Amino acid sequence: MSLEVTSLGVQVHGGMGFIEETGAAQYYRDAKILTIYEGTTAIQANDLVGRKTARDGGQTAKALAAQVAQTESELAASGHADAQAVARRLKAAREAFVDVVDFVAGNTKAHPNDVFAGSVPYLMLAGNLMAGWQMGRALLVAITPEAQAQDAAFMAAKVTTARFYADHILSKAPGIRDSIVEGAGSVTAMALDAF
């Protein structure tokens, strides 16, 4: 994600001279190494599939999803419009995640190529869901009278950030689910010697 964020930063800051003045290009170069020296994204994704999901039939992942569902309920019950909107997006993302967990747990042994073809999108979906969950939890704190009394402007920014994340990141989860659960054929269709 740092690579994507810094790439957007380069896009925002435009032309070469301005990029160098702001340091955006250096942040982008620095972020690139993260996908290499921390283990490639695919290795981390394969670990998520094999050791973190398939090994226990998805039970740990579903336990996390149950915690997310609890936060959804709290957001929906809050009476706050932004919290309720985040709850809806969080629910759709969680349901997409659970569908993928079921797909991974049910197909890793019988159809491993189909599962591993979607391992990187699964990793991104899981990470985005977990981040959205934490943002939802932060929103719940930010709307309390105690938090508002401490620093209303900061808490308003927390609410806005959570809403933005829900509307622009979590909203992508159902499509990512589709690419994982239904998209393996187009990934595995070409013969290996075509590469």
Same domain, yes or no: 106 and 173: yes
**Mean pLDDT in residue range 78-89:** 98
> Are 34 and 55 within one domain?
no
Please, what is the average pLDDT of the chain?
A: 93
Helix (H) or strand (E) holding 9: helix 2-13
Question: Residue 99: left if φ>0, alpha if ψ -120 to 50, beta else—which one?
Answer: alpha
Global confidence as pTM: 0.88
Instruction: Looking at the structure, tell me whether residues 47 and 32 fall in a common domain.
Output: no
pLDDT band at 38 (very low <50, low <70, confident <90, very high): low
Answer yes or no: do 121 and 175 share one domain: yes
- Asked whether residue 5 falls in the same domain as residue 75, the answer is no
The answer, yes or no, to whether residue 70 has pLDDT greater than 80, is yes
Is there a single domain that holds both residue 124 and residue 182?
Answer: yes
Question: What is the spatial distance between Cα 170 and Cα 130, in angstroms, rounded to a whole number?
Answer: 10
Length of the chain (residues): 195
* Helix ranges restricted to H, 14-111: 16-22, 24-32, 34-37, 41-47, 59-77, 81-107
**Do 130 and 34 have their domain in common?**
no
Residue range(s) defining the domain that contains residue 60: 42-194
34 and 49 part of one domain: no
Check whether residue 73 and residue 151 sit in a common domain: yes
- Point out the least confidently predicted range of 8-12, 143-147, 177-181: 8-12
* Same-domain check for residues 33 and 98: no
For residue 121, what pLDDT is reported? 97
Residues 110 and 139 grouped into a single domain = yes
- Can you give 93-116 as a three-state secondary structure string? HHHHHHHHHHHHHHHCCCCHHHHH
User: What are the phi and psi torsion angles at 23 (to 5°)?
Assistant: 85, 5
Q: Any idea which residues carry the catalytic annotation?
A: 38
> Domain tally for the chain?
2
My answer on whether 10 and 71 are in the same domain is: no
